[in-house]
Amino acid sequence: MEELMAGRISRLAAGLGAGAVLVSLAGCGGGKPVAAADRTGELTVWLTVDAQESWPDLVAEVNRRFRRTYPKIKVTVQYQQWTTKNQKIDAALAGRKVPDVIEMGNSETTNYIVNGAFTTIDPAKYDHSAQWLPALRDACRYEGKTYCVPYYVGARVGIYRTDLLARVGVAAAPRSYSELRADLDKLKAGFGAADRNFSALYMPGRYWYAAMAFVKDAGGEIAVQANGRWHGTLSSAKSVAGLTAWKDLLDAYYTGDRSKDNGDEPAVVGQGKVGMFYGNTWEAKAATDSRSGGDPALRGKFTTFAFPGPSGKLLPPFLGGSTLAVPAKSAQPDLAQDWIKLFTDRTSQRRLIAADTLPNNTVQLREVAAGGLNGPAARAAEHGWVTPPAPGWTAVEKSNVLPEMLQDIATGKQSVADAARAADRRIDAVINER
């Protein structure tokens, strides 16, 4: 998953009584069924540190629930760092002993799926699978089959300083793009004139999650599939229109370095020279936390809103989030899927909501408090998108095509149209690679 904290399961079927259920012994070629309570062995689960840091009680509770059915199965949860997770996964999958459950960033899954790393799952066995957020559901599907289960999601929103907006006479969040621009104009006039380092809107040049939201808002796409192959479409008329709208907003209200990304956004905002920014809801808190470079003096001075787009609709956000998959080499694939059922069921999703995280389905998005920090994100998430489910998308990201295109546009090195055409050529070169 991208930088959601660098980013932050259906109950077992009613008949799964601990002593009554008979299941096939994993790895056995048609042997005698074994009662669930008599199954033995170990189940290894790899989660990222988000679970360890933000909802360890949920992990512990799911393990307790799992043991009610499988008391002799030892569940070992190992926490992985986002920066090294995939290297460890690649090494494990190349060997014989693999974890049984793996957490993946949603934009990472396709490359593993097309290369046969994960086993298929039956969505009907999972709570609210018919209502999984489309962007996450589609990230788990390939050639008509499903290979993973959506876990949780995060959606970017507008975040602003309530004290600064109040000082320029704005009492409520903007509800339209014209209101947004008017509010930014007031911030710029009220604070930018006295401090040339003040940005009414923080929008660094390489911030591709933001820029691509404008592409989506204009009806454009990063890439599309035709005749079995993927092609970059950033140079289409609609995509160019979205990129142009993004650059116009940047030109009007951002005064910072156009050659950087948003990786240190909370720390920059915490310096007090930003009126509004576009980010994940957790960044509003991080901007007030000294551990992330924020300023504790700003606590209570940020609020969120669903960011309006130039189209007149909400700006469609990139949905950062995670999925859970079972490696094809797992020795206990049925147990792994049963654990995932519990970890993603409606009860567990409710626990994630309480931890200020968005659930994996549209039904429970309505359980997110509208007036809370995550309320606007829940509204925006229904319109969210993910990166193209192309075999070579990981290669596209690693080659930095999007950030480099945006830097060229933001700094004036190339026109929008020229930079987009060059990016399409680079995307076409790698996006179909497995």
Residue-wise pLDDT tens digits, 183-203: 999 999 999 999 999 999 999
pLDDT band at residue 107, thresholds of 50, 70 and 90? confident
Highest mean pLDDT among 109-113, 247-251, 316-320: 247-251
Are the C-beta atoms of 110 and 141 separated by less than 8 Å? Answer: no
Alpha helices in 124-230 (DSSP H): 134-139, 162-167, 177-187, 208-217
| pLDDT at 237 exceeding the cut of 50 | yes
What the chain holds in terms of domains, given with CATH numbers, is 22-154+320-377 (3.40.190.10), 157-317+388-430 (3.40.190.10)
pLDDT given for residue 31 in this prediction: 59
- Residue 54, H or E segment: helix 49-54
Average pLDDT for 266-276:
97
Distance CA(166)–CA(173), nearest Å, equals 11
pLDDT given for residue 427 in this prediction: 98
Highest mean pLDDT among 34-38, 105-109, 197-201, 394-398: 197-201
Q: What percent of the chain has pLDDT over 90?
A: 87
Residue 224 contacts by C-beta under 8 Å, 6 or more apart in sequence? Answer: 230, 231, 233, 388
Beta-strand runs (E) in 25-90: 34-35, 41-48, 73-80
pLDDT given for residue 350 in this prediction: 97
pLDDT given for residue 22 in this prediction: 39
Average pLDDT for 32-61:
94
Q: Which residue has the tokens 């987009």?
A: 420
Average pLDDT for 72-99:
95
b/e per residue, 296-326, with b = 16+ CB within 10 A?
A: eebeebbbbbbbbbbbeebbbbbbbbbbbbb
Are the C-beta atoms of 120 and 145 separated by less than 8 Å? Answer: yes
pLDDT band at residue 19, thresholds of 50, 70 and 90? very low
Which amino acid, one-letter code, is at 117?
A: A
Beta-strand runs (E) in 24-85: 34-35, 41-48, 73-80
Helical axes 237-253 vs 208-217, angle rounded to 10°: 130
Average pLDDT for 110-139:
94
Which amino acid, one-letter code, is at 244?
A: T
pLDDT band at residue 267, thresholds of 50, 70 and 90? very high
pLDDT band at residue 289, thresholds of 50, 70 and 90? very high
| pLDDT at 287 exceeding the cut of 80 | yes
| pLDDT at 9 exceeding the cut of 60 | no
Nearest-5° Cα angle at 141, 144 to 349: 130
Report the Cα 58 to chain-centroid distance in Å.
20
Nearest-5° Cα angle at 358, 266 to 298: 25
**pTM for the predicted model, two decimal places:** 0.87
Average pLDDT for 137-150:
94
Min mean pLDDT across 56-60, 87-91, 313-317, 369-373 is at 369-373
| pLDDT at 367 exceeding the cut of 60 | yes
- Average pLDDT of the residues of the chain: 92
Q: Which residue has the higher pLDDT, 46 or 30?
A: 46
Min mean pLDDT across 75-84, 211-220, 249-258, 379-388 is at 379-388
